[in-house]
Amino acid sequence: MMPATQASSPTANDGSTVVLPMTKVLIPGSFDPLHLGHIDVVDQAVELFGDVVLGVLVNFEKPSGLFSPDQRVQLARASLSDRPTVTVQAFGGLAVQAAAEVDADFIVKGLRTPNDFDIEQQMAHMNHSVTGIRTVFLPCRSDLGFISSRFVREISANGEAIDHLVAAPVAAALADRFAGPSHE
């Protein structure tokens, strides 16, 4: 059987289309909530690989959050609903276990800063040592690299607009959550 191929394939120097096979990648994260920086990384991964599973996982350093894992999944699904090769699901346990469960070829992580690289490099090596899965780093778009879920939560909780930082379903959920007097 011929492998499935990507919808948007790159053009070679001679003008011909380079047909790349579909690859499945897992993008793990807390996504509390998903923001435009995350969506940029999803779009880069779709362009490069084809199939993307956005995995909502527990970061054991920040186990509880603003939205429940189920709510994060629903908000991410609503925000990414126009991307046919992207699926969203929640996982318990480790990122390597989630990657094995969905049969992902690689883990993909977005990098904003050198600090991101330090921790992500350690996790990539650790994950590779456990199951052999490789991690691919994608640089966040420069005009979106300042966005973080934590600051989106803080700014929204204190009544300022975050519509330029998140997709419409997330903006609506935050407005709903923080309707009324300041919450921080």
Per CB under 6 A, residues contacting ligand PNS are: 28-30, 57, 59, 94-95, 123, 126-127
Minimum CB distance to ligand PNS smaller for 32 or for 105:
32
What does DSSP assign to residue 84? T
Instruction: Kindly tell me which of 57 and 165 has the beta carbon lying closer to ligand PNS.
Output: 57
DSSP β-bridge partners for residue 24:
51
In the complex, least distance from residue 175 CB atom to ligand PNS, rounded to whole angstroms: 22
Q: How far is the CB of 77 from ligand PNS (least distance, A)?
A: 17
Residue labelled with tokens 């997709």: 167
Residue 165 beta carbon to ligand PNS: minimum distance, rounded to whole angstroms: 15
Residue 28 CB, nearest approach to ligand PNS (Å): 4
Crossing angle, helix 149-157 and helix 168-177, to 10 degrees?
50
Residue closer to ligand PNS by CB (options 6, 56) is: 56
CB atoms within 10 A of CB 106: 18
Q: Which is nearer to ligand PNS, 6 or 147 (CB)?
A: 147
Q: How far is the CB of 156 from ligand PNS (least distance, A)?
A: 17
Query: Cα Rg for the chain, rounded, in angstroms?
Result: 17
Select 95 or 162, whichever has its Cβ closest to ligand PNS. Answer: 95
Instruction: Return d(Cα 100, Cα 135) in angstroms, integer.
Output: 13
Can you tell me the distance from the alpha carbon of 4 to that of 10, in angstroms, rounded to the nearest whole number?
A: 15
Contact present, 66 and 39 (Cβ < 8 Å): no
